[in-house]
């Protein structure tokens, strides 16, 4: 099937990952509550870097020598939505580039991208010392207050304009991607802001349900 869309950008957490977020998956593993930190971020009292810093500190408080390998083991069983591989295949067969744009952890983004054939991904990360132990700092690649900037990088990389771009997200942080897209899909939306800014709203346990809205 053909499509007039040339770039399809997926949010990861809550869309491809069938869980609140990859960060929260690690918090839950360590039985950590980050509600206060999350509220501080939402209220604008801390920025993305400090948000990551405070979350990572909570992990280090539980396991002072936690390393990237530990995170890979913790994140390996994170649940994913049904139908990712066939969705990516169908979109690529239509001629589109298919990417992940996420404020989640790059460990999970890389795993999903590699296993399901995405063209590329961009996500945030954790800084490690030469032995692989976390330093306490995050690596910011996707600013949650401006995910559109990360999407713009892919548009420039592939030479694809906004009106040929589709964005799929589930929360208010994805609206900046919607603003740079000709078609925006709220997939299992969790807030009213993302619903109001989406062209299409889909509630489903299978990502393949986006295909009829993209493919002709």
The domains of the chain, with CATH numbers, are 7-22+77-214 (3.40.50.1000)
**148 vs 11: CA distance, rounded Å:** 11
Q: How does pLDDT run across 17-65, given as a tens digit for each residue?
A: 999 999 999 999 999 998 899 899 988 999 999 999 999 999 999 999 9
**9 vs 39: CA distance, rounded Å:** 27
Give the residue carrying structure tokens 């900037």. Answer: 149
Residue 32, classed as helix, strand or coil, is coil
pTM of the predicted model as reported, rounded to 2 decimal places: 0.95
Q: How does pLDDT run across 95-133, given as a tens digit for each residue?
A: 999 999 999 999 999 999 999 999 999 999 999 999 999
Burial of 60 (0-12, 13-18, 19+ CB in 10 A): middle
**181 vs 164: CA distance, rounded Å:** 7
pLDDT at 1: 61
Phi, psi for 21 (deg, rounded to 5):
-165, 160
For residues 138 and 127, is the Cβ–Cβ distance under 8 A? yes
pLDDT at 2: 63
Mean pLDDT of the chain: 96
Cα 29 from chain centroid (whole Å): 20
């Amino acid at each position: 099937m053909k499509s007039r869309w040339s770039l399809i950008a997926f949010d990861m957490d809550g869309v491809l990952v069938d869980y609140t977020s990859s960060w929260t998956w690690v918090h839950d593993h360590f039985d950590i509550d980050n509600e206060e930190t999350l509220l501080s971020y939402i209220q604008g009292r801390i920025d993305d870097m400090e948000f990551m810093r405070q979350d990572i500190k909570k992990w280090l408080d539980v396991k002072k020598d936690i390393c990237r390998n530990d995170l890979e083991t913790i994140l390996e069983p994170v649940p994913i939505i049904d139908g990712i591989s066939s969705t990516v295949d169908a979109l690529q067969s239509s001629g589109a580039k298919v990417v992940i744009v996420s404020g989640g952890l790059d460990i999970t983004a890389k795993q999903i991208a590699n296993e399901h054939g995405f063209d590329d991904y961009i996500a945030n990360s954790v800084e490690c010392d030469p032995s692989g132990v976390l330093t306490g700092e995050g690596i910011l690649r996707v600013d949650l207050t401006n995910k559109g900037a990360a999407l713009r990088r892919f548009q420039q990389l592939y030479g694809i304009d906004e009106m040929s771009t589709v964005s799929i997200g589930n929360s208010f942080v994805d609206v900046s991607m919607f603003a740079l897209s000709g078609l925006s899909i709220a997939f299992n939306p969790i807030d009213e802001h993302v619903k109001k800014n989406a062209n299409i709203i889909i509630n489903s346990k299978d990502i393949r349900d986006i295909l009829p809205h993209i493919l002709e």
